Amino acid sequence: MRNMYFSEAVADAIRFEMEKDPTVFCIGEDVGFVDGSMGATRGLYKQFGKERVRDTPVAEQMIVGLSAGAALTGMRPVAELMYNDFMGCCMDQIMNQTAKFRYMYGGGMNVPMTLRLTSGGGMQCAAQHSQSLEAMLVHVPGLKVVYPSTPQDVYGLLLTAIEDDNPVMVFEHQM
């Protein structure tokens, strides 16, 4: 792998999966027109268009709910919550719905949903934009939680997450 920034590796991994599989799409605040939080979806909107790279309102519950529903119908959403701080708004959807669908239906339902969340501080983004809440999710049965630390890690883990038939939470440090 060539030397690259973390955000470039994120975009490259998503691009690879979108080119390979037409059921993969991106959704989140500013993932499209402005190239995503921290530039992590740079170029995807231009390459794949608004049908597969969907900007949303500031509505985290809608992002998670729509992603879970799409995953249940055979799509492979790569959703982004700009800051992990706002996953609290979506905890019922994440831990009581998305994480449990497969078990509630005896293994008969796949939920191939990847949820990307930025985490940590250091960017002077205030109290509601600088927490590290990944530990809250590692204890939820049915969820896979990863926290890559290098561009190579995020590239490989995103490829694996997007191809997984279970919900995967990918935490990316803001710095």
Q: What is the mean pLDDT of residues 121-125?
A: 59
Phi, psi dihedral angles at 99 (to 5 degrees): -70, -25
Catalytic residue among 129, 136, 159, 173: 129
pLDDT band at 131; cut points 50, 70, 90: low
Q: Give the integer Cα–Cα distance in Å for 116 and 84.
A: 9
Q: Convert the pLDDT of each residue in 160-173 to its tens digit.
A: 999 999 999 998 88
Q: What is the mean pLDDT of residues 135-143?
A: 86
Q: Is 129 a catalytic residue?
A: yes
Q: Nearest Cα to 113, choosing from 128, 100, 127?
A: 100
DSSP β-ladder status, 76-81 and 53-55 = unpaired
Q: What is the pTM for the complete model shown?
A: 0.90
Q: What is the mean pLDDT of residues 82-108?
A: 88
pLDDT band at 126; cut points 50, 70, 90: low
- Count CA within 13 A, CB hemisphere, residue 71: 32
pLDDT band at 129; cut points 50, 70, 90: low
Residue linked to tokens 């500013």: 30
Q: Convert the pLDDT of each residue in 37-82 to its tens digit.
A: 778 899 999 999 999 999 999 999 999 999 999 999 999 999 999 8
Q: Is 83 left (phi over 0), alpha (psi -120 to 50) or beta?
A: beta
